């Protein structure tokens, strides 16, 4: 098959989990024998080949880049244009039409916009779309404002700016959620009225075979860890504050390792919160496998409804049970006290009590580790690729039947 994949970014601009997931899918499809082109935004117009994948970058086109507005006015202009950026969409559509794919797989569309969908539909190209964030419902993509989650009705600005995006979703043939949670969130708001719906988790496998882990022995610290973008919505600040409380209240030695980078000001804030505590280490950019090899218990302290944190299934694949908030897609994967521990982020003491509970019950750690390896089979790469390819074929056949 000839498959065009569209996203905002692509390797080496690995902004987050979406980019890693898309890169894996593109390369796996090439290895399977498919012809794959990825179209993304960039600083300049250019083209290259990465691991057999043709990567086409098109310069970002948004009036906010040339009109000297700053602060809230500049953001509003950017989001307003990005709601229906016909110029950017038309250019991406031209690249796709020249490639003549059997199917187009769209993902994060910031910088391109949903104006791409009707252009592809008119060209008779079937569309499969994967939901990875809340771009279609919220200009900020996170439905998180003023340090708290947005209510179920969404704010006026979100409803206004996202309305054209949801209406355009009628052109999509198949919509895929990377969790049941995010798919339901969109369909409940009226999105994708004509699309077949599927849930496909992202893929991951460790670079080397993994076996279940024994509980941390008493001669060394229990190491908690966070990996990901350092941002307020991720709850990293609360994790650091809670760890400091934990360390002062237990005799067992504990450590916290934080991998990832973020906004300079926020990183400085986090380091100031940690102070001179030597048990907290900031690792910066770290390979996932290298990170998981040095910790015992990953923590996903997200304050927003994260659709599906990659840390969950990456941890499972490394035989690590996870502490996570009971928000977003996390409860779909974590069976409380079996493959990890869930807590309520609205309770300021819940994370501390959860971490204390884990330390008091380390005898169950080995069994939890074994269960995570079983759960990790859901994310086995060949299964995920085959699911996507089946959907691509289904969309192609449905489109051909509709045109007869």
For 146-175, how does the pLDDT look when each residue is reduced to its tens digit (9 = 90+)? 777 776 667 777 888 789 999 999 999 999
CATH fold of 2-203+380-403, please? Rossmann fold (3.40.50)
Please tell me the distance from the alpha carbon of residue 111 to that of residue 42, in angstroms, as a whole number: 9
**Phi-psi category of residue 47: left, alpha or beta, with phi > 0 → left and psi -120 to 50 → alpha:** beta
Taking only the tens place, the pLDDT of each residue in 64-83 is 554 555 666 667 676 788 88
The CATH 3.40.50.2000 domain(s) of the chain lie at 2-203+380-403, 222-379
pLDDT of residue 251: 94
Radius of gyration of the chain (CA): 22
Measured between its terminal Cα atoms, the distance across the chain in Å is 21
Helix axis angle for 156-168 and 71-83, nearest 10°, is: 20
* pLDDT, position 66: 45
pLDDT at 159: 84
Given a cut of 50, the residues of the chain with pLDDT beneath it are 66
Q: Are 352 and 329 in contact (CB under 8 A)?
A: no
Matching CATH number, 222-379, of 1.10.2020.10, 3.40.50.720, 1.10.10.60, 3.40.50.2000: 3.40.50.2000
* 340: alpha, beta or left? (left if phi > 0; alpha if psi -120 to 50): left
CA–CA gap between residue 18 and residue 14 (Å, rounded): 8
Q: Write down the pLDDT at residue 74.
A: 63
Alpha-carbon gap, residue 369 to 361, rounded angstroms: 13
Runs of H (alpha helix) within 147-287: 156-168, 180-188, 236-249, 264-274
Residue 380: count of CB within 10 angstroms of its CB: 15
33: number of Cβ within 10 Å: 7
Structure confidence at residue 65 (pLDDT)? 54
Q: What is the pLDDT of residue 73?
A: 66
């Amino acid at each position: 098959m000839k498959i065009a994949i569209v996203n905002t970014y692509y390797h080496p601009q690995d902004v987050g989990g979406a980019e890693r997931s898309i890169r894996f899918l593109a390369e796996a499809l090439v290895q399977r024998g498919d012809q794959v082109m990825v179209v993304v935004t960039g600083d300049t117009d250019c083209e290259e080949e990465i691991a057999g994948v043709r990567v086409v970058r098109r310069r970002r086109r948004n009036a906010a880049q040339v009109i000297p507005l700053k602060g809230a006015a500049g953001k509003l202009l950017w989001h307003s244009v990005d709601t229906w950026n016909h110029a950017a969409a038309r250019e991406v559509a031209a690249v796709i039409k020249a490639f003549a794919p059997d199917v187009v797989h769209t993902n994060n569309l910031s910088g391109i916009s949903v104006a791409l969908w009707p252009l592809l539909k008119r060209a008779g190209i079937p569309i499969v779309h994967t939901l990875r964030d809340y771009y279609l419902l919220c200009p900020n993509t996170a439905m998180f404002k003023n340090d708290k989650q947005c209510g179920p009705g969404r704010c006026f600005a979100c409803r206004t700016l996202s309305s054209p995006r949801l209406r355009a979703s009628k052109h999509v043939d198949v919509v895929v959620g990377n969790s049941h949670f995010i798919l339901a969130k969109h369909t409940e708001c009226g999105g994708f009225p004509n699309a077949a719906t599927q849930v496909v988790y992202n893929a991951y496998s460790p670079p080397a075979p993994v076996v279940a882990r024994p509980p941390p022995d008493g001669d060394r610290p229990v190491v908690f860890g966070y990996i990901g973008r350092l941002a307020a919505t991720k709850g990293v600040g609360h994790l650091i504050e809670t760890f400091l409380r934990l360390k002062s209240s237990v005799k067992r030695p504990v450590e916290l390792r934080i991998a990832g980078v973020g906004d300079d000001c926020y990183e400085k804030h986090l380091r100031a919160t940690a102070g001179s505590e030597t048990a907290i280490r900031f690792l910066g950019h770290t390979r996932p496998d290298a990170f998981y090899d040095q910790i015992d218990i990953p923590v996903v302290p997200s304050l927003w409804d994260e659709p599906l944190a990659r840390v969950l299934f990456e941890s499972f694949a490394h035989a690590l049970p996870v502490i996570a908030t009971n928000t977003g897609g996390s409860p779909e994967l974590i069976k409380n006290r079996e493959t990890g521990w869930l807590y309520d982020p609205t309770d300021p003491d819940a994370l501390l009590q959860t971490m204390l509970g884990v330390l008091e019950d380390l005898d169950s750690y080995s069994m939890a580790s074994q269960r995570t390896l079983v759960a990790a089979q859901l994310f086995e790469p060949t299964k995920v690729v085959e699911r996507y390819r089946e959907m691509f074929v289904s969309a192609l056949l449905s489109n051909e039947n509709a045109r007869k």
